[in-house]
Amino acid sequence: MKPESPDQPGTPETNDHVSTPEETDDRGLRSAAMRTDHTLRSAVDRVRPTGNRVGAWLAPLFERIRQWLAPLIRTIQESSAFRSLQEKLAPRLAEARQKLSAEDGEGRSGSKRLRSMQLGAAVAAVGVVGLIIGGVSGQQGQGDETAQASPVQAAVPGQGGNTPMASPDPNAPNRGGAPEPPAPLGPPVEGIDVSNHNGDIDWKQVKADGKEFSFVLASDGTSFSNPMYDEQYHGAKDAGLITGAYHFARPDDSGAAEQANRFLDVAQYQNDGKTLPPVLDLEVDPNSGGCYNKSVDEMHAWTDEFSATVKDRTGHEPIIYANPSFWQQCMGSTDSYGDHSLWLASYGVDEPQIPNGFNDWDFWQYSESGSVAGIEGDTDLNIYDEGIERLRQLAS
């Protein structure tokens, strides 16, 4: 796998006129400020991907809290005590808003901001008072509305009542053919991919080095099979890594169905909860750097046939491995495969460029020169973005 490298940065413009001492001093100060600014921006850029992933991880938790509180908030809003309080305070709040609207003369903006803050505090106070009143009303059980709308209680084992919302069980069976709900998001997961070039591997050391998954080359084109596939693939699985197989596509060798069937025969795919969907490795022709003498439409047709064959035999769409330049050059930036998981190749960048046609990457191959315990020499390094629970779900 030889994905593209990031472009080299351009050379900044220079100013050729002779500087005066004052200009030199100014330029020195500006240069120092620019260096400081660049340092800060670089630090932020390095931290931003982690921050984005942590935010994505926490979002489902906040959503569950919001859903858990919704019945309580609705109970409070519908209680007679809260409505009575609203009716009493509404005229005063309306009068206060009218006064603020009238005070728009010059020099009074500070006062307006202060009064707006006071009004906001008053509204917040009304909400707090209503929360207390609604809670007390619900506990006392007085009034039909409050008594009927007090569902937020912790269930006691063996007794009736509503249970609080819980995280979906990723191991629960998928009943009725409905789509399985997504597993909870988690921190990114590290993994590798290997081929016969990596030789013998001590998979227990790989697992101890924090790697949770591996892709193993099964086949290349029409005639090549990885002679170490069984040893590498089953060794990774036996060590506890979630494992998948990939096929290096050569669309000019033979038909897509022929290559897909041969790949799956070698891959020994099993729906055992430990096997990732098969991977279609799409890269430029290693010999010419082009698109295998095929048009974009012909590349689409070949990829469609390969995908359909994999889906028929495994029940899964194949994961697509590609880099942005190949996707633009040979696939025409199509969005026809947006429902496939994307394994994106991009080295030496803080955040990879997403090819047109995909919303995001699922796996990111971010280095081809990593060092991993149990493997001699350089190793491809990868990351899965959505956490170990979703990785397990993808393998189920």
What end-to-end distance do the CA atoms of the chain give, in Å? 26
Q: Structure tokens of 57?
A: 């991880």
**DSSP symbols for 26-85:** HHHHHHHHHHHHHHHHHHHHHHHHHHHHHHHHHHHHHHHHHHHHHHHHHHHHHSHHHHHH
CB atoms within 10 A of CB 84: 12
Which of 246, 245, 243 is closest to 275 using CA atoms? 243
Which position among 22, 23, 37, 283 bears the catalytic label? 283
Q: What is the largest CA-CA distance in the chain?
A: 87
Phi, psi of 218 (to 5 degrees): -100, -45
Helix, strand and coil in the chain, % to nearest 5: 45, 10, 40
Q: Tell me which DSSP letter residue 275 carries.
A: B
Q: Structure tokens of 96?
A: 């206060």
Q: Which residues contact 266 (CB under 8 A, 6 or more apart)?
A: 218, 219, 225, 226, 229, 245
Q: Tell me which DSSP letter residue 230 carries.
A: H
Note if 103 is an active site residue. Answer: no
Q: How many angstroms separate the CA atoms of 247 and 249, rounded? A: 6
Q: Which residues contact 299 (CB under 8 A, 6 or more apart)?
A: 251, 291, 292, 330, 331
Which position among 212, 220, 281, 362 bears the catalytic label? 281
Collapsing DSSP states into helix, strand and coil, what is residue 210?
coil
Note if 285 is an active site residue. Answer: no
Q: What angle do CA 214, 292, 311 make, to 5 degrees?
A: 45
CA torsion, points 78, 82, 84, 89, in degrees to nearest 10?
A: -130
Note if 335 is an active site residue. Answer: no
Residues annotated catalytic, as ranges: 193, 281, 283
